[in-house]
Structure 1
Amino acid sequence: MPNAATREAVKRLLGPRWSVRLRCWLDGKPVPRWGNLRRTRPFSARFGMDRGTPVDRHYLHQFFERHQRFITGDVLEVHQPVYTARFGSAVRTSHTVDIDPRVRPTYLCDLAAPGDVIPAARYDCFLIHNTLHLIADFEAALRAAARAVRPGGVVLAATPVLMPLDSVAPAEYWRPTVGGWRTLADRTWPGCEVTVRAHGNCLVAVAAMLGLAAEELLPAELDAEDPHYPVLVTAACRKLAA
């Protein structure tokens, strides 16, 4: 084992980059082969949407598929009823809410301040995706969501974590972790059954930041879950019957 003076001399001789490589080699640690991943711009600036399925959507689709038994009856969805149509069954009414009049939503309002625009206890299920992190008053939006579903109804929500910021959105405010989600749920959904889960791992997070698509990863790579590297966090809130 070389002494401290020898190690410092080697560092000065080799420089920091090769010093680290030498240390990894001596310790038997793997050295990355960057190839064309050594870049400062992503492969896609659209979350990989122009290549295939964005990696966070892979987990979002799985989340809705696991909970599709709740996507039934009277269903409310943010923006457009895409996932209601895809995952819903025995849907009586399919309504939407959005702040943008161009999408012609059923309810044109801010989810954080809907007033009486969205009727209370009207829906069996409320799907909230790709939205909450864009709302400044996150807690107000969660309270409004719970108000919209009737007793026994379910709110299915998801927010990104280790994903690029949206270059089109005016602003992004929140990237809550599992712990953050649980704290917010305790404040805004008291008395409800809430399940929060993280999805992703370090490889998927890297793929997300580089703008790669889910199809460019192996199923086993997507299925591996490491809570320290969440790409998406999902929350299922069931409003208990009175």
Structure 2
Amino acid sequence: MFAKFMKAMVRKKAPVNFPDMARVVPIDPNFAWDRGTPIDRYYIESFFRRNARLITGRVLEVGGSTYSRRFSEGKAESYSVLDVAPNNDKTTIVGDLADKSSLPANAFDCFICAQTFQYIFEVREAVEGAHHLLKPGGVLLATVPGISQISRKDSERYGEYWRFTKDSIDRLFRPVFAAGVEVSSFGNVLSATAFLQGVALEDLPDSSLLDAVDNYYQMIITVIARKG
């Protein structure tokens, strides 16, 4: 009885204001792409920007060359695009990360793999495929979702199977890349809630609120994995 009373007192002292949040349909069901910049892209782009020095030599990216060209700072020798779908006109390598026989071996200095592993059911094999692609000393820069809605378009096209944590990513990558693995997470309750509601970065009163990291709300997990 006392516990119920105390909870009621907490609610009275700190009432929740639900002007726009008391809804079962998100503000923008398309990750906020229709409103502006999705919240997860703030973390993804910040990660690639901080690690731009690693985007050098022969660079491979999944689906397109947007991030490799944007953040390589002119240090890349070439840009290649990996896609499992042959009808992507940007593709230079048609291959499946989970099938090493479809991938070139020891070919790239840097592999950018943003928000991809969740669509591959054979995720352990996909990690091995990423390792297979890299030259000795080459580096994988990857991001994966921790807290996220399911992508309607991509789940219908590929299936969507996984959400990750720092612990699960470490256990997936370390057996393959050994000591050359650095895993981080980004996000907090505000960023996670805003992202799920389809709120855009531009909707927030202060984007620096996203910089607070709460390990219990891991919205985006990042991986730097170097091939020995």
On whether the aligned pair clears a TM of 0.5, the verdict is yes
Distance, in Å, in 1 between the alignment partners of 2:197 and 2:15 is: 20
Question: Structure 1: 5+ residue runs without aligned partners?
Answer: 12-18
The answer to whether 1:195 aligns with 2:179 is no
Per-residue deviation at 1:214? 1.6
Distance, in Å, in 1 between the alignment partners of 2:94 and 2:70 is: 23
Which residue number in structure 2 is paired with residue 106 of structure 1? 92
After superposition, residues 23-172 of structure 1 pair within 5 angstroms as 23-24=9-10, 28=13, 30-88=14-72, 89-104=74-89, 105-115=91-101, 117-168=102-153, 169-170=155-156, 171-172=159-160
CA-to-partner distance for each residue in 1:60-118, whole Å, 9 max, x for gaps? 00000011111111000000111111001321111111111221311112111141x42
TM-score (norm. length: structure 1)? 0.86
Q: Is the 8 A contact 1:112 1:135 kept in 2?
A: yes
Q: Which has the larger radius of gyration?
A: 1
- What is the aligned length? 222
* Identity, % of aligned positions: 33
Question: Structure 2: 5+ residue runs without aligned partners?
Answer: none
Q: Secondary structure at the match of 2:137?
A: strand
Per-residue deviation at 1:25? 5.2
Q: Is the 8 A contact 2:113 2:140 kept in 1?
A: yes
Distance, in Å, in 2 between the alignment partners of 1:199 and 1:216 is: 19
User: Structure 1 pair 25/238, CA: closer, same or farther in 2 (3 Å)?
Assistant: closer
Per-residue deviation at 1:21? 7.3
The answer to whether 1:220 aligns with 2:213 is no
Per-residue deviation at 1:215? 1.9
Q: Is the 8 A contact 2:146 2:164 kept in 1?
A: yes
Q: Secondary structure at the match of 2:87?
A: helix
Q: Secondary structure at the match of 2:163?
A: coil
User: Structure 1 pair 31/153, CA: closer, same or farther in 2 (3 Å)?
Assistant: same
